[in-house]
Structure 1
């Protein structure tokens, strides 16, 4: 019986690997054409929107880059992006909501146009303090809503815990999209592996390739061209970062964003995805929270969003149909409208608007 079980396991494993290989070969043919389109990624997403820019000095003197659509006297909406991305992923939301709110999107330390951590600190506490620093510098007065995606959502939650004095009169509500309060990627085993790979990359750098100038450049560079696009990287981006039917130009844009973040930064931030537990913070949150889930999110599936919403004292759960892990890119109209309604409601006494859904004004 033991022998039969062993043979069965081997056969199952072989079939699984064979199926995966055939599947990949099929995907490779499709993705090969996409690899040629990276440079043709949708310019309305890839290009900086050209609004006001500002550098903000965080608690440890790390310089953070922020983009603003200034609207003095109006409630603020501050956007915090996820691991490996940048403020550019909020282009559609900034475009539309910037007409009704004082809108700010910033790059986390080591991401986008922000500097590397001045003291090498990439902990969630540091990211949370960055959120507070950007809010204080770019929207120093009046009510605000904090919006966070994936790791950026955890940073927003951590900010609420580390700076409780902000909640209430200043921060009227939180929007958490494609995120969780603990073990961010526990909903998918393969995503946990991805986080582990990022950590291993950093360890390999420290232990093996530190003497190789070429390897060092690839690991540390902010230029995505130092880490060329491959069929596999595009395939992984589409399968885990987006829904499987995402258009090629969106896959190309997101994959380029991820390649633009140095692996050493990804590795330094990765532990926050799998080890930090903010469930107690969520249970004690004193402001309304909107939880957005992607119906096709493989990294933080809808059941995780449901658990998060259930532990929050005052929450609203909205599932974005057809969206994967980056709902704000895949279904921008639905995400923008949901944020608009929520922000207008929680800031209504400060002139946040009438809560009607915003119409998309993006050039995309």
Structure 2
């Protein structure tokens, strides 16, 4: 494990972690959920290291305004900023070779913006995993409550942001009443492991108010359906839980409709946090994409050797 500091185009320092050698034939980049941090993928990092060892390079990072990365002003907490930050991370720690990219929630939304923000990276994407995410139209989400859902959806981020402004982190850690209810009733499906509930609650408590409100506002404007066909030649899998209230199954279905050849897998009873709730499923689908990328990289290396 190696920690890096990568500076964005607008001068923010991002906390980046890599596993594996610089010259690995394939790099795997894992982009996390809104209000989370790189530990969003901790089950997958553990399992990929166990399965592949140093045959691949794994890259995780904290998005701007999240985790150990620098805070960002509310106006700069947007999906295009995260996409450009993604490109900066790739340039810094995975500058060559094929990449397999996975995105959870806003991390997946940022990936769908790559064709407009960093089109130069598209030829390098050898596999794509979109987890509990959306191509747009998030204003239609009702959180499973047709009447009160839209009101609750619009108010909750600002209630959490207000708590973060008025109450110390220590006080919210001692009395995470609202955060725990949000996690248990909205973010997770069934079953719920106490350690996962506690982990997501901690992530919410550690998230800044600017990050909560800024990204929420931008996600409500998110519309990258027109970009999806750019991934037609990329092996793509879309995962969603039947109990996902933030990016419901119909959003996953629209992603699959927009990407030729994409596969849709639906996890019964799972909520929005599939990397926690169904870690084996997420890892297994990552492995399918990584194996394909490794095979392709090996064939390219053999061809180059034959030509030389």
For Structure 1 versus Structure 2, the TM-score category normalised by the shorter chain is 0.7 to 0.9
Q: Which moved more, 1:188-197 or 1:68-77?
A: 188-197
CA distance, structure 1, for counterparts of residue 138 and residue 91 of structure 2: 27
1:59–1:118 CA distance, 2 compared to 1 (3 A): farther
CA contact (8 A) 1:78 1:103 kept: yes
3-state DSSP class of the match of 1:275?
coil
User: What residue ranges of structure 2 are gaps of 5+ in the alignment?
Assistant: 300-308
In the alignment, structure 1 segments of 5+ residues that lack a partner are: 1-50, 206-214, 353-364
The total of aligned residue pairs comes to 288
| Secondary structure of the corresponding residue to residue 68 of structure 1 | strand
Q: What secondary structure, in the 3-state scheme, does the structure 1 residue paired with 2:127 have?
A: strand
- Please list, as runs of the form range in 1=range in 2, the aligned pairs for 1:37-48 lying within 5 A after superposition: none
Cα offset, 1:322, TM superposition: 3.6
Residue 267 (structure 1) aligned with residue 221 (structure 2): no
CA contact (8 A) 1:188 1:300 kept: no
* Residue 54 in structure 1 maps to residue 9 in structure 2: no
Say whether residues 1:237 and 2:183 are aligned partners: yes
In 2: Cα distance, 1:314 partner to 1:194 partner: 36
Cα distance in 2 for residues equivalent to 1:230 and 1:73? 42
Query: How do 1:6-17 residues align onto structure 2 when only pairs under 5 Å count?
Result: none
Q: When the two structures are superposed, what TM-score results if normalisation uses the length of structure 2? A: 0.85
Q: In structure 2, the residue corresponding to 1:104 is in which secondary structure?
A: strand
Change (3 A) 1:193 1:258: farther
Compared CA separation, residues 280 and 316, structure 1 to 2 (3 A): same
Partner of 2:231: 285
Name which of structure 1's ranges 135-144 and 177-186 shifts more when overlaid on structure 2.
Answer: 177-186
Match for residue 308 of structure 1? 255
TM-score by length of 1: 0.73
Over 3 Å counting, the alpha-carbon distance change for 1:52 and 1:187 in structure 2 is same
CA apart distance, 1:118: 7.1
Alignment-derived partner of residue 170 in structure 2: 225
Structure 1 residue 161: deviation in Å?
2.6
Distance (Å, rounded) in 1 between the aligned partners of 2:48 and 2:293: 15
Q: CA deviation at 1:231?
A: 3.3
Where do 1:99-248 residues align within 5 Å? 99=53, 100-117=55-72, 120-168=75-123, 170-184=124-138, 186-189=140-143, 192-193=150-151, 195-197=153-155, 200=158, 218-219=164-165, 224-228=169-173, 229-248=175-194
What is the rounded CA distance, in whole Å, between the counterparts of 1:220 and 1:265 in structure 2?
A: 16
For the structure 1 residues 77 and 185, does the alpha-carbon distance in structure 2 shift closer, same or farther, using more than 3 Å as the test?
farther
Name the Cα RMSD after superposition: 2.5
Aligned to 2:32: 81
